[in-house]
Amino acid sequence: MKLRFRFAKQGKIRWTSHRDLARMWERAFRRTQMPLAYSAGFSPRPKVSFGLALSTGHESVAEYLDVELDPERVVGLDIASLPDRLTAALPGGVDVMAGAVIDEAAGSLQHEVTSCRYELVAAGAGIDELRELATGALAADALVVTRHRKGQAVTDDIRPAILSLAVVEEVDGGVLITAEVATQPRGLRPAELLAALSADLVEVRVRRTHQWISCADGAREEPIPLRRDVHDAPPAPELERVS
């Protein structure tokens, strides 16, 4: 049996690394006595796979991980109770919002997710200037930036990766921007997006709000649609200001 969980990472816990977060989940699985399946070999590891890594310091209400369970030990397991049980075993700020059984043949989140939506607050320009910058970026045929990959400077056209971009309103600390960016063939980070708009922009805070999977019919869906038959996510709280 394969399960997928959706969880939030908010507050001070956002400063933990992806590796530390994985350790937190492993401890939570032990505390809740989850009947995990393990790999074979000299050093067995639980069959747990995370989705796209979240940059340290960013918040999210749309993180995912997949776990495989030992089929010989799942009898009587109350799957509906797992989100609450796991939340109680995880540090404050990591909240499991939904859990669902998925097809065992489902692809990995790393390859299935095609885009992410972010809310980010930027400083360094007023709202009118930012709207002009966003309009110019969306109208551009290309936005060529230099990025570092494996120690080498590489020039990339990031315009195809900007799927949507909107300047919303002035907020505490700067201006709120929403953006959906592609994750394939290579993801575009919020900081890279801001740098492409203007070298003067500073990333104040960021929250990932959605991850999307493209379907064969042209539609898209979340890795776990928040339906009534799963644990619904609470409304996203206001972005916490970075101190």
For residue 76, report the phi and psi dihedrals to the nearest 5 degrees: 85, 0
Count structural domains, the chain: 2
pLDDT digits (tens, 9 = 90+) for 66-117: 999 998 888 888 888 999 999 999 999 999 999 999 988 888 998 999 999 9
Q: Are residue 126 and residue 165 in the same domain, yes or no?
A: yes
Q: Are residue 8 and residue 98 in the same domain, yes or no?
A: yes
pLDDT at 236: 42
The parent domain of residue 158 ranges over: 113-221
Q: Of the candidates 57, 83, 110, which is a domain's last residue?
A: 110
8 Å CB contact between 17 and 11: no
pLDDT digits (tens, 9 = 90+) for 186-235: 889 999 999 999 999 999 999 999 999 988 888 889 998 664 333 344 44
Is the model's pTM score more than 0.85?
A: yes
| Tokens read off for 222 | 């979340």
pLDDT at 233: 40
**Domain holding 138: CATH number?**
3.30.70
Q: Of the candidates 90, 110, 130, which is a domain's last residue?
A: 110
Q: Are residue 143 and residue 200 in the same domain, yes or no?
A: yes
Q: Are residue 78 and residue 150 in the same domain, yes or no?
A: no
Q: For residue 27, is pLDDT > 90? A: yes
Q: Of the candidates 75, 91, 110, which is a domain's last residue?
A: 110
Indicate whether 230 belongs to any domain.
Answer: no
Q: Are residue 77 and residue 153 in the same domain, yes or no?
A: no
pLDDT at 22: 92
> What is the residue-averaged pLDDT of the chain?
88
pLDDT at 150: 77
Q: Are residue 122 and residue 212 in the same domain, yes or no?
A: yes
For residue 70, report the phi and psi dihedrals to the nearest 5 degrees: -70, 115
Q: Are residue 69 and residue 124 in the same domain, yes or no?
A: no
**Domain holding 56: CATH number?**
3.30.70.580
CA within 13 Å, CB half, 48:
21
